[in-house]
Amino acid sequence: MLYHLIRINYICGTLIDKFYIMNIHEYQGKEILASYGVRVQRGIVANNPVEAVAAAKQLTQETGTQWYVVKAQIHAGGRGKGGGVKLAKNLEQVTEISENIIGMMLKTPQTPPEGKQVHKVLIAEDVYYPGESETSEFYMSVLLNRAKGRNMIMYSTEGGMDIEEVAEKTPHLIFTEEIDPNIGLQGFQARKIAFNLGLSGTAFKEMVKFVEALYAAYIGSDSSMFEINPVLKTSDNKILAVDAKVNIDDNALFRQPKYAEMRDVREENQIEVEAKEAGLNYVDLDGTVGCMVNGAGLAMATMDLIKYAGYEPANFLDVGGTADAKRVETAFRIILKDPNVKAILINIFGGIVRCDRVAQGVVDAYKNMGDDIKVPIIVRLQGTNAEIAKELIDNSGMPILSAVQFQEAADQVKAALS
């Protein structure tokens, strides 16, 4: 029961967040939005200061803007706070700011502590110009509510801020609108959203169009999240997306080749990229116990086991059905790239593959990389020929600990780490 609960926690939390999505940059998210007729803050992406100035000139021709916003393109939010979004009031400032931002290690509340290196900037038109009415910033996201099995639109008048903070301090200022999957977003729902945001006249009509196009973009691109923070009402009552955080469903990329090309592997965890190339299902996590398992379900249970023993898993890794020596070795090497790993737990069920073959694979891999492995290895093999496999490991002369029972494996993880 305990690990059933922990497992649900894992499935709903970390793994879903990391496993089934592809992140893209703001400029790419805005391209998708624009292709569905969502009004966006116009911008042109640039790789260096020279391109940035050319982009600014082109923007002035196309939109008439005199000021520009230089926006760091990294897969993390909170860029404004970290100094990754700056206003430029002329072309000299575009050069200067781009020089500073491109190449910098940008630190925001959503990046790793060392920050993320910026490779590109988006040069965007200034949309906060003064006019007949005030500008207002709203929050809006479309996302899948997994508990309800429905998409929903979440929105708030408190835009431009950290939405987690709004949710915590003033939850009554966040509204949600659930979408019935059989009939899709209804007109009255879009109008209700515009109304709840306090809009009237032109801005109201613009918002209705905005919400409808945003939802169409979300559905059409097979995304699991579109977060627009802020949605801006300009001083001349246009409604547009100033920012775009988009998660595309990884499993839908086969039918979205245009979007698959938007992947930027430089932004992704390098160990995960390498594992993917090796055909391994690997997700990097924060704990200290590396694990190698066959089958996603058993991998979940193994992570629960590690938690049950009082530790945190360093990764999720499903080696799949063919756990031969080569594959086991590749998996070892990948797990060991994570400097936080203090022990490795191998938990394989020998159903299709026989346990003694896996055991031989582990022993061979260990022989091959003996000096590279500096952490204790615990192997639990269960299923066909489990006992032979245990003997094979115990007699190998290698410092590998073997277990047959689940609990035994947990105890050995504890013993190895305490």
158 counts as binding Mn ion under rule CB under 5 A: no
Cα 317 to Cα 330: distance, rounded to the nearest angstrom: 12
Torsion of CA 246, 250, 251, 254, to 10 degrees: 90
Minimum distance, C-beta of residue 218 to ligand GDP, in the bound complex (Å): 19
Judged by CB under 6 A, the stretch of 73-81, 90-98, 139-147, 349-357 that binds ligand GDP is: 73-81
Instruction: Please identify which residue in the block is written with the tokens 């309800």.
Output: 148
List the one residue from 19, 20, 36, 128 that touches ligand GDP (CB under 6 A).
Answer: 128
List the one residue from 7, 14, 36, 78 that touches ligand GDP (CB under 6 A).
Answer: 78
Alpha helices, DSSP H only, in 278-348? 296-308, 325-336
Active site residue 139: yes
List the one residue from 23, 28, 65, 229 that touches Mn ion (CB under 5 A).
Answer: 229
Minimum distance, C-beta of residue 9 to Mn ion, in the bound complex (Å): 28
Residue 347 three-state SS: strand
Q: Dihedrals φ, ψ of 178, to 5°?
A: -85, 140
- Of 24 and 353, which has the nearer Cβ to ligand GDP? 24
Per annotation, catalytic residue among 206, 212, 227, 329: 227
Per annotation, catalytic residue among 3, 10, 27, 139: 139
Cα 214 to Cα 198: distance, rounded to the nearest angstrom: 19
Minimum distance, C-beta of residue 164 to Mn ion, in the bound complex (Å): 13
- Interacting partner of 79 out of ligand GDP, Mn ion, none (Cβ under 5 to 8 A depending on kind): ligand GDP
Residue 57 three-state SS: helix
What are 38's two structure tokens? 């969502």
284 annotated ligand-binding residue: no
Active site residue 227: yes
Cα 325 to Cα 334: distance, rounded to the nearest angstrom: 14
Task: Give helix then strand counts, H and E, for the chain.
Answer: 15, 19
187 annotated ligand-binding residue: no
59 counts as binding ligand GDP under rule CB under 6 A: no
Select from 225, 226, 228, 224 the least CA-distant residue to 207.
228
Judged by CB under 6 A, the stretch of 28-36, 121-129, 345-353, 370-378 that binds ligand GDP is: 121-129
Given a contact cutoff of 8 angstroms between Cβ atoms, the answer to whether 243 and 230 are in contact is: yes
Residue 93 three-state SS: helix
Given a contact cutoff of 8 angstroms between Cβ atoms, the answer to whether 281 and 316 are in contact is: yes
Judged by CB under 6 A, the stretch of 119-127, 142-150, 173-181, 313-321 that binds ligand GDP is: 119-127
User: Letter for the amino acid at 40?
Assistant: V
- Of 71 and 390, which has the nearer Cβ to ligand GDP? 71
- Of 243 and 329, which has the nearer Cβ to Mn ion? 243
Tell me the pairing of strands 43-46 and 120-125. Answer: antiparallel
Neighbours of 332 (CB within 10 A): 22
Cα 273 to Cα 18: distance, rounded to the nearest angstrom: 13
CA 414 to chain CA centroid, Å, is 31
Minimum distance, C-beta of residue 124 to ligand GDP, in the bound complex (Å): 6
408 annotated ligand-binding residue: no
Ramachandran class of 295: left when φ > 0, alpha when ψ lies in -120 to 50, beta otherwise? left
Judged by CB under 6 A, the stretch of 77-85, 255-263, 303-311, 354-362 that binds ligand GDP is: 77-85
243 counts as binding Mn ion under rule CB under 5 A: yes
- Of 89 and 276, which has the nearer Cβ to ligand GDP? 89
- Specify the DSSP class assigned to residue 87: E
Judged by CB under 6 A, the stretch of 122-130, 180-188, 190-198, 353-361 that binds ligand GDP is: 122-130
Half-sphere CA count of 200, side-chain side, radius 13 A: 1
391 counts as binding ligand GDP under rule CB under 6 A: no
Angle at 399 between CA 350 and CA 391, to 5 degrees: 45
List the one residue from 5, 50, 87, 105 that touches ligand GDP (CB under 6 A).
Answer: 87
66 counts as binding ligand GDP under rule CB under 6 A: no
- CA dist list (Å): 54 to 73, 99, 132: 18, 14, 31
294 counts as binding Mn ion under rule CB under 5 A: no
List the one residue from 52, 53, 85, 208 that touches ligand GDP (CB under 6 A).
Answer: 85
Q: Which residues are annotated as a binding site?
A: 71, 78-80, 127, 137, 229, 243, 294, 351-353
Which amino acids are annotated as binding site for Mg(2+), given as ranges?
229, 243
What residues are labeled active site?
A: 139, 227
Residues that bind Mn ion (CB under 5 A): 229, 243
Site for ligand GDP, rule CB under 6 A: 69, 71, 77-80, 85, 87, 124, 126-128, 160, 229-230, 242-243
- Binding-site residues for substrate: 294, 351-353
